[in-house]
Amino acid sequence: MSLPILGDDSDEIAGRLRSAIEAAVPCDELEVSSGSPRHFTIRVVSPAFAGLSRVKKQQLVSSAIADLMQGDDAPVHAVDRLDCAPPE
């Protein structure tokens, strides 16, 4: 059992990540989860990724969430894992 961290607003930040990604990339599937405060795992399945290299797919998502990762007080410290795939 994990203890809640005072001031942990991971759910709210995950929602902001979801909104930013959905605004920039058409998503068939989108999962955002928090591993630890301000660290996230993201999985996106999008037709926009068809034919793109892994780097280009990740750049699309990274550019969508860049504002949430900039500055000393950024709500997102790191994306520990970013999986991007076209639909099967």
Please write the tens of the pLDDT for every residue from 18-29: 999 999 999 999
Residue 6 within any structural domain of the chain: no
Residue 7 within any structural domain of the chain: no
Which residue range(s) make up the domain with 30? 21-85
Count, residues in the chain: 88
Taking the model in full, what pTM does it have?
0.88
- How many domains is the chain partitioned into structurally? 1
Average of pLDDT values for 57-78?
96
- Can you give the CATH number for the domain in which 46 is found? 3.30.300.90
Q: For residue 7, what pLDDT band results from cuts at 50, 70 and 90?
A: low
Residue 30, judged by CB atoms within 10 A of its CB (0-12, 13-18, 19+), counts as middle
| Rounded (10°) CA dihedral 55, 20, 24, 69 | -40
Residues of the chain above pLDDT 90, percent = 83
